Homo-oligomer: A and B are copies of this chain.
Amino acid sequence: MELLVVGTVAYDSVKTPFGERKGVLGGSAAFCAMAASYFTDVAIVAVVGEDFADEDRRLLESHQIDLSALQTVNGAKSFHWQGEYGEDMNDARTIRTDLNVLMDFDPVVPEAFRSAPYLFLANIDPKAQLKVLDQLDSPRLVAADTMNFWIENSREDLMRVLPRIDVLVINEAEARQLSGEGNLFSAARSLLSCGPAMLVIKRGEYGVLKITADSIFAAPSFPLEKVFDPTGAGDSFAGGFMGYISSKRNQAPETMRRAAIMGSVMASYNVEDFSMNRLASLSREDIEARYNAFRRLTEFGDL
């Protein structure tokens, strides 16, 4: 097992201008692991309720995702998120959040996974992220995501996560919110001083920025006339990013740039359908074709 992902496995009820789906598979760890599964061996540390469907378990397992650390709580329900997207597909409006099994989630990393070389702390309570960090031996690379809810309500815990990770994956508004800086590059400098050596700033339809102390890389998002459902775009980005790095087993600058493109590839496929319908049905050829499309989208050559 190369990549350990801690986060949520959830049921989502989503409404977009293109339709509506109720109680479909989602969650930060599920999207991330599915995207990463095309590149490397992945295991999930998460919790579900007794309502978790066999077919969803089988879908994840059919992608060789290791579910041996997926806890099931009897007599309780899985985490449920209900959200809606308007014409501007960049921001979700949360209608309802039922934490359910997440309330008492105590992540346990099995002995066999403690030496995992790559760790992704997907969006979840920073307390859970810290507990996982405490159980790992010494991963080669740790990345983490978060969201506005934790910035507002668990800032202290979150600030304890930052010095222990290598890469912070965060969206643009959250980078400003967490740093208190209006200019994005000032925000990035401030966040880099809190611990991580690298920031990946997600900008929705505007792509991503990868920022270190001495370099910036900018990647656009893939041009799509129809974004069916943005849910999980950030998580599938992270899955492509971490999966690609795990498969290369190095963190050279060119690996990290290509990883950011691979993340963008996976996110672009994910938003083409509801839940992970598209993300779960890709071929190696699909992925390479879109990577090459990103090349054509961005290249301009020397003067």
6 CB-based A-B contacts, threshold 8 Å? A87-B182, A183-B225, A185-B225, A218-B298, A260-B300, A298-B298
- Residue A97 CB within 8 A of the other chain: no
- For A185, give its contact among B185, B217, B224, B292 (CB under 8 Å): B224
- Residue A91 CB within 8 A of the other chain: no
Question: In whole angstroms, what is the CA distance A173 to B116 when docked?
Answer: 46
Minimal Cβ-Cβ distance residue in B for A302: B295
Q: Which residues from B are CB-within-8-Å of A301?
A: 254, 257-258
Question: In whole angstroms, what is the CA distance A296 to B300 when docked?
Answer: 12
- Residue A261 CB within 8 A of the other chain: yes
Contact check, B300 vs A219: say whether CB atoms are below 8 A apart. yes
A residues 28-66 in Cβ contact with B at 8 Å = none
Interface size on A, residues (CB 8 A): 42
- State the copy count for this chain: 2
Question: In whole angstroms, what is the CA distance A258 to B303 when docked?
Answer: 7
Question: In whole angstroms, what is the CA distance A225 to B216 when docked?
Answer: 12
- Residue A206 CB within 8 A of the other chain: yes
- Residue A203 CB within 8 A of the other chain: yes
Q: Which residues from B are CB-within-8-Å of A295?
A: 300, 302
A253 to chain B, nearest CB (A): 10
Contact check, A300 vs B217: say whether CB atoms are below 8 A apart. yes
Question: In whole angstroms, what is the CA distance A246 to B206 when docked?
Answer: 30
Contact check, B87 vs A297: say whether CB atoms are below 8 A apart. no
- Residue A237 CB within 8 A of the other chain: no
- For A225, give its contact among B186, B224, B225 (CB under 8 Å): B186
- Residue A139 CB within 8 A of the other chain: no
Contact check, A261 vs B300: say whether CB atoms are below 8 A apart. yes
